[in-house]
Structure 1
């Protein structure tokens, strides 16, 4: 059966494939294979640079040809490695054999036993995966998040002076401004991004149990720890975790997943707020010709983009939670549970990218209903009570809170007229009365 959007089991590779195609070069099986090939080739070149005695005569001018093995890597190459894996039943060993065949083609047979020299599979996996994650961040994640944040900045500036009724515990509260409420989410996300960017992309590189046993027994005079650190940090651009067991301990990777989860949680909060504002009629939504809001109710224009975003963020967070909780745990020097889990790293990223796109789509459909903002403010004059009692405190008026409490905590509707009548009943100067009367729900919005 040929895989199509209709028969794919996962909606990521089915319904949503077009939205996450940009992640395929980093999280697909072919991508993982390509990154493994890259690490193996660069490792061989690094051994030549020491140089190991048996590689001292290796012609450096051939490095470019070696690097073409991964820089010009094709889907056919990936399939060839998968075919080799059917025989070896080992994915990383299949990569080694593939590169050895390439060496044969380049007439480099005498050097090919230094491919994967002294390494274990996890030296390749635990460098390939953080490399792919790092590249995915730079190429896809950060640009997508930046587009969403830029839209929020535009709306925050555009709506900066729109007064709105705040609601704490769902009840009318001191007024705020729409632009400021949008900016709260921008600031929250930016703070989390700063923390995220401070977490290193860590990699393990040290042989079967992390001690360079095979390296040291073969070449005891070489500082293999210094070599490994230089290779991981200078050649690959990652952070070298040392000491380790057979595998990377994944603590930094867990930190990355936790940071991504916090960013997603902030966006869930945002999606729910906007959804609520739509239900309150603060926003209308642009209507696209031909679209149907409900199969039964023709009038409906549902906030489906924010709902879609929330749902995808929830799935992403559930997976990020499992990844961050499971990966740092491995029995003794290594068990295999991390292997199958790491193959799913791209899944929560994909759901996150789908969510970013959905939120952005929803924002682009919003039409502000200024009349509804104004109506809610006008219907809730009680919110200026805080302002009045605060000024009365400033003036040392006796028991101002209690006086306002008696006015506002009744079942009678508080209107502009009732507020004015209350102010007029106070034994204060006319100047102070005029100051109090100048306060309205529309201008009592703080800084």
Structure 2
């Protein structure tokens, strides 16, 4: 084994979709759907179609036989077709692959495979993660946490509000992946897209394509060359990478929150698990780091995806090797990371006490509400004045609230301010705006949309 996916990161459920054997079966399924279509319109005898359909599976057209044939022919689809033809009667042989070009089979099989893996593996895995994030956001909608910008303490939020941001982003990603998978296209248009070979076979080649695509549950490309326009695949994989980036962003945040000096969350650490070969005390955020690493490994593949939009004239072969790498690698790493994130969230430990302690760490978080209240009370340059108080607080190592209590100008301006607003300064953990309300709104929205 050469590739780490094979022995370390493989999602076993994906083998039935992404393996060479699985893709061969998908290609044979296309051949079967095509011959059934020819029989339906009267071009091919029904008994011939039944014979070809019966033999169009990998138990008969085995990967081993196809590889041996390809070694001689130097052409993968012609090798598959030859093995299939070798296993049918002389009466049936002329109808095998009749009027098709290789990428009628390859592009259509690829679209069907990606649509299947999206519906049966990717979307259910994403929805399971989304459900868990919703539960955590709801459970922690009022768990106070310090918000951070540029790595610095900013203003209070709640942990549930923070997670609801990811609930919304992941929910949008689910819908976009579903939509882009449904837009993947197949084709039966021949070597340059004109359907010339099909026109010899039957007077209405468009009817052949429509009947066949309906059988497969795919949309036909409105126009094609030897290949389906590559933008459909590029859009689909772009949405996968965007969704993966959201998960990597979450993983990176969780990793940062697990730092020794922050320690607001922690991941499961088994009794026998080792964090370092030399430092017994280490409990590293390895699961979160692995997810970020998975993303780093496959995210650059999107450049190859975009480069493969270029295909000279009616088609060249410059995408042949690249797509064999990036399709399975992107999808496997993505699904692996979804499942690992879900497991991490199932076992996430949230330290509420540490969150509250971090909130009060600097003693300066009241600066914004203080500035707003002063401005509303008529102070001509409240922002500058509070900024000066912050500097003095830091210099004297006292909290901003203590400095404000001793400041006569501030106390005078605040005399007529409603107690409800003054409370935002005295009890900074109440300064969370619409965090709880927004969390409830977002979680309810995605529970409804996804039927959770």
1:307 paired residue number: 289
Distance verdict in 2 for CA 1:36–1:436, change over 3 Å: closer
> 2-side partners of 1:96 and 1:163: how far apart?
64
1:241 paired residue number: 221
**Residue 36 of structure 1: CA displacement?**
0.9
Structure 2 residue 34 is matched with structure 1 residue 79: no
Matches within 5 A, 1:284-433: 284-323=266-305, 325-344=306-325, 345-410=327-392, 411-412=394-395, 413=397, 414-422=399-407, 425-428=410-413, 430=415, 432=417
Distance verdict in 2 for CA 1:341–1:122, change over 3 Å: same
**Residue 303 of structure 1: CA displacement?**
0.3
1:5 paired residue number: none
> 1-side partners of 2:206 and 2:80: how far apart?
25
2:174 paired residue number: 193
Structure 2 residue 237 is matched with structure 1 residue 257: yes
**Residue 421 of structure 1: CA displacement?**
3.3
Structure 2 residue 193 is matched with structure 1 residue 210: yes
Does the 8 A contact of 1:257 with 1:321 survive in 2?
no
Tell me, which stretches of 5 or more residues in structure 1 are unaligned? 1-7
Does the 8 A contact of 1:271 with 1:310 survive in 2?
yes
Distance verdict in 2 for CA 1:433–1:400, change over 3 Å: farther
Does the 8 A contact of 2:225 with 2:314 survive in 1?
yes
TM-score by length of 1: 0.88
User: Which string of whole-angstrom CA distances, capped at 9 and with x for unpartnered residues, describes residues 237-257 of structure 1?
Assistant: 222113222122211100111
Q: Which moved more, 1:415-424 or 1:42-51?
A: 415-424
Find runs of 4+ consecutive structure 1 residues off by over 6 angstroms. Answer: none
> 1-side partners of 2:136 and 2:345: how far apart?
9
Does the 8 A contact of 2:35 with 2:53 survive in 1?
no
Cα RMSD, aligned residues only: 2.3
**Residue 433 of structure 1: CA displacement?**
6.8
1:10 paired residue number: 3
Distance verdict in 2 for CA 1:307–1:86, change over 3 Å: same
Does the 8 A contact of 2:230 with 2:308 survive in 1?
yes
Structure 2 residue 80 is matched with structure 1 residue 100: no
1:46 paired residue number: 37
2:431 paired residue number: 444
SS at 1:328's partner residue?
coil
> 2-side partners of 1:277 and 1:429: how far apart?
37
**Residue 320 of structure 1: CA displacement?**
3.0
Tell me, which stretches of 5 or more residues in structure 2 are unaligned? 435-452
Corresponding pairs, count: 424
2:444 paired residue number: none
2:46 paired residue number: 58
User: Which string of whole-angstrom CA distances, capped at 9 and with x for unpartnered residues, describes residues 351-405 of structure 1?
Assistant: 1122223323333343112221111222233222211232333343443323322
User: Which string of whole-angstrom CA distances, capped at 9 and with x for unpartnered residues, describes residues 53-73 of structure 1?
Assistant: xx3x5249x74x654445x64
1:125 paired residue number: 106
> 1-side partners of 2:210 and 2:359: how far apart?
62
SS at 1:12's partner residue?
helix
User: Which string of whole-angstrom CA distances, capped at 9 and with x for unpartnered residues, describes residues 121-144 of structure 1?
Assistant: 111111111111111111221122
